[in-house]
């Protein structure tokens, strides 16, 4: 029997990379049935809702969502649907693995970092107000409950995956109460994991060290905004946003998406790299217990990247999304 999953096609490059990924999943024999929905601004203009009710109902039934990027207007318009989904379903753990691939040349080798980004609070709580016409406030929220669960997940991951160290990233020298609490909780929880090395660093120092000595970092845990910024940085270490997958996990629900956005600058040109969404789909298969299928797809991608003849322009190739997809399928 097939497992059903919910799929949001997104916009920009979303539909192109979704089609590529679903074709590869089918060719790999993933045994999935898809409930596919259009979401975002175009859907709003066509049907009056950014995310149709049936799409929410589908996710509430399947509990697994493969989500393509959605455009968010900057500085005006509707609030981010990504942030809304994370909050609505309490998808508190955003896990973003950045691992070097020998076939993708960058100035850095042997990067293997997993960022645990708290996904529901911090400045993303969206508590903003205009105090007067020249003064705006945005409130940073850090709670014990949300800090404890993401920090514990990071340590549990380290144990389960044979990792050696967990680094807490913060700015507690300035935000002594909020980030100070995050850091204190980190050290409280670290006592339950004496076999894992634990340390903490200030976020600006981390930004510098990541581009000087990325190999020093292993598992990292941090509040929402730092995780957003530093995970884009780690994608740069391994070859760019086209290669960084993520899972967003909460109690009972799981959403898998590429870290990148809808890339309007290349949308419709047939050159988007679907690898980040494909690796997100592999994380989804692993979450669903379909380990063999995920491993098969990962091997096929590695082969295509190593051969280098069917890779997309963002990682130095000349192939389009279609050629890359066909190449991966041919290796399965």
Q: For residue 149, how far is the Cα from the chain centroid?
A: 18
Residue 248 interacts with ligand NAI (CB under 6 A)? no
- Binder to ligand NAI among 255, 266, 282, 293 (CB under 6 A)? 266
Residue 264 beta carbon to ligand NAI: minimum distance, rounded to whole angstroms: 6
Residue 51 interacts with ligand NAI (CB under 6 A)? no
Stretch of 111-119, 127-135, 208-216, 260-268 lying at the interface with ligand NAI (CB under 6 A): 260-268
Stretch of 49-57, 163-171, 205-213, 257-265 lying at the interface with ligand NAI (CB under 6 A): 257-265
Encoded tokens for 36:
């596919």
Q: With CA atoms as reference, report the closest residue to 328 among 258, 268, 273.
A: 273
Residue 302 beta carbon to ligand NAI: minimum distance, rounded to whole angstroms: 18
Residue 263 interacts with ligand NAI (CB under 6 A)? yes
Residue 100 interacts with ligand NAI (CB under 6 A)? no
- Binder to ligand NAI among 260, 283, 284, 300 (CB under 6 A)? 260
Q: With CA atoms as reference, report the closest residue to 92 among 147, 160, 40.
A: 147
Residue 66 interacts with ligand NAI (CB under 6 A)? no
Stretch of 93-101, 106-114, 161-169, 254-262 lying at the interface with ligand NAI (CB under 6 A): 254-262
Note if 124 is an active site residue: yes
Note if 171 is an active site residue: yes
Residue 157 beta carbon to ligand NAI: minimum distance, rounded to whole angstroms: 21
Note if 232 is an active site residue: yes
Residue 275 beta carbon to ligand NAI: minimum distance, rounded to whole angstroms: 7
Residue 213 beta carbon to ligand NAI: minimum distance, rounded to whole angstroms: 25
Note if 204 is an active site residue: yes
Residue 241 interacts with ligand NAI (CB under 6 A)? yes
For ligand NAI, which is the closer residue by CB, 114 or 263?
A: 263
Which residues are known to be catalytic?
124, 171, 204, 228, 232
Which spans of this chain sit near ligand NAI (rule: CB under 6 A)?
13, 69-72, 82, 241-242, 257, 260-266, 272-273, 276, 314
């Amino acid at each position: 029997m097939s497992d059903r999953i919910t799929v949001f096609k997104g916009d920009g490059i979303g539909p192109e990379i979704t089609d590529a990924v679903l074709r590869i999943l089918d060719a790999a024999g993933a045994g999935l049935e898809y409930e596919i929905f259009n979401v975002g601004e175009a859907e709003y203009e066509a049907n009056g809702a950014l995310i149709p009710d049936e799409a929410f109902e589908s996710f509430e039934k399947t509990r697994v969502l493969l989500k393509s990027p959605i455009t968010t207007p900057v500085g005006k318009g509707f609030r981010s649907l990504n942030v809304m989904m994370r909050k609505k379903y309490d998808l508190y753990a955003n896990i973003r693995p950045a691992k070097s691939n020998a076939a993708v040349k960058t100035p850095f080798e042997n990067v293997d970092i997993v960022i645990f980004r708290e996904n529901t609070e911090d400045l993303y709580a969206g508590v903003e107000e205009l105090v007067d016409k020249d003064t705006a406030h945005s409130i940073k929220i850090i709670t014990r409950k949300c800090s404890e669960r993401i920090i514990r997940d990071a340590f549990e991951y380290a144990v389960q995956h044979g990792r050696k160290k967990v680094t807490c990233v913060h700015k507690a020298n300035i935000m002594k109460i909020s980030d100070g609490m995050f850091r204190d909780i980190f050290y409280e929880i670290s006592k339950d994991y004496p076999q894992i090395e634990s340390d903490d660093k200030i976020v600006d120092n981390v930004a510098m060290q990541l581009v000087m000595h990325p190999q020093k970092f292993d598992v990292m845990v941090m509040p929402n905004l730092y995780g957003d910024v530093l995970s884009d940085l780690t994608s740069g270490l391994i070859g760019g946003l086209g290669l960084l997958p993520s899972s967003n996990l909460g109690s009972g629900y799981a959403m898998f998406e590429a870290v990148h956005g809808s890339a309007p600058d290349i949308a419709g040109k047939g050159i988007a790299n679907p690898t980040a969404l494909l690796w997100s789909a592999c994380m989804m298969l692993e979450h669903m217990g379909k380990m063999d299928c995920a491993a098969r797809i990962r091997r096929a991608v590695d082969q295509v990247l190593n051969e280098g003849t069917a890779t997309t322009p963002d990682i130095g190739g000349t192939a389009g999304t279609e050629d890359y997809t066909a190449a991966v399928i041919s290796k399965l």
